[in-house]
Amino acid sequence: MLSTVEAWFSTHTWQQPLWTVDELVALKRGRTVSVVLPALNEEETVGDVVSVVTPLLGTLVDELVVMDSGSTDRTAEVATAAGARVVRREDVVPWLEPLPGKGEVLWRSLAATSGDLIVFLDSDLVEPETAFVTALLGPLLDVPDVHLVKGFYRRPLRLESSGGGRVTELVARPLLNTLRPELSGVVQPLGGEYAATRSFLESVPFAAGYGVEIGLLLDVHRLYGLSALAQVNLGVRKHRNRSLLQLGVMSSQIMGTALARCGVSADSGAPKNQTLTQFVQVGGEWLPDSTDVLVADRPPMVHVVEEG
């Protein structure tokens, strides 16, 4: 007999998603789709990501929004020229001062879009494909009661001597296997390419930083069970890799969110700084380098009321 994880994997994992645009348009049945790209200084890649989505506008995709998280380069201009609507994070829910982090702009995107289904794509993708969007939407449009679809992929080495997916394998997967073993069948729990129903996204808190993906994964399982989660193979995903020091900060936010969602830590809703001490070599000496790591949740968007 198959285990719970094996049974879910066999029915809710698409290794070769084959939905066509025409098939998915027929499956929309009045539902609308928004595609959101969070962006921070991504002028070199955001245009290419936008360009693979624009052919779907007016048919499968109803709106395409780039959420600018305070870029100081030409991200906004490049995205607009490629065909996206650019929204600054400060212009959405403007009565709340923005918190730093990717999850913050994803949370604000809920107030900047109107689609019944929302597809999130990272804007630092190299060689993106239109099939990313169709594959992610397939289970949402075709399978009853699915609320979150995660993309998984092979991550080839690009800019560093170490392989990709280090935070997944060293932090996220061990955490999930220990704290929520039913989710051990998720191939890429931290992947930035995923799609979800608005009803789910607006009903849960969003981690403001890099904990947003693992937070949503844990929340969909808590609210709806394993059957509400699906995953699709997106082939190859190329993006820039980060230094180990940057990954340490990312890991701290992910651990803080995951532990709070699983009841290991208290008072997770209030913004709070944690200090992460790392070490760097300067002039042959190892010196401590401390970074403030913000672990904070934004409330469910359905509960956010405009001030004034």
Mean pLDDT in each 10-residue stretch from start to end of the chain (308 residues)?
90 96 98 97 97 98 97 97 97 94 96 98 93 98 97 68 68 94 96 97 95 97 98 82 76 91 66 73 83 87 77
CB 215 within 8 A of CB 207: yes
CA 123 to chain centre: 11
CB 41 within 8 A of CB 72: yes
Runs of H (alpha helix) within 35-159: 46-53, 75-82, 102-112, 131-142
- For tokens 């936010």, the residue is 253
Q: What pLDDT shows up at residue 66?
A: 98
End-to-end alpha-carbon separation of the chain, Å? Answer: 58
Q: What pLDDT shows up at residue 307?
A: 58
Structural domains of the chain, ranges and CATH numbers in brackets: 7-295 (3.90.550.10)
Runs of H (alpha helix) within 67-183: 75-82, 102-112, 131-142, 166-167, 173-179
Q: What pLDDT shows up at residue 308?
A: 42
Computed from CA positions of residues 63, 196, 150, 59, in that sequence, does the dihedral angle turn out positive or negative?
negative
- For tokens 């809703």, the residue is 269
**What whole-number distance in Å separates Cα of residue 60 and Cα of residue 157?**
32
Residue 180: C-alpha distances to residues 30, 77, 105, 166, 281 (Å): 35, 42, 27, 20, 38
What is the pTM (predicted TM-score) of this model? 0.91
